[in-house]
Amino acid sequence: LLYNTLKENEKQSINATIKLNQLNNDLESEINDSEIKLKVENLNFSH
């Protein structure tokens, strides 16, 4: 029983880690997108 609980906890923490990594990746790509948009806007202003 204890072993099963440990295994279940391990699975849940692995899933949580995967979700966090996914969120992190989503955030990073959103940040990259907005940085690119800012650069494009800055280029437009300079003309």
**pLDDT tens sequence across 1-47:** 788 999 999 999 999 999 999 999 999 999 999 998 888 888 877 65
Please name the residue ranges forming H helices in 1-47.
2-46
Whole-prediction pTM: 0.63
Q: What is the pLDDT of residue 2?
A: 84
Q: What is the pLDDT of residue 47?
A: 56
Secondary structure of residue 1 in the 3-state scheme? coil
Q: What is the pLDDT of residue 1?
A: 77
Q: What is the pLDDT of residue 37?
A: 87
State the Cα–Cα distance between residues 39 and 24, nearest whole angstrom.
Answer: 22
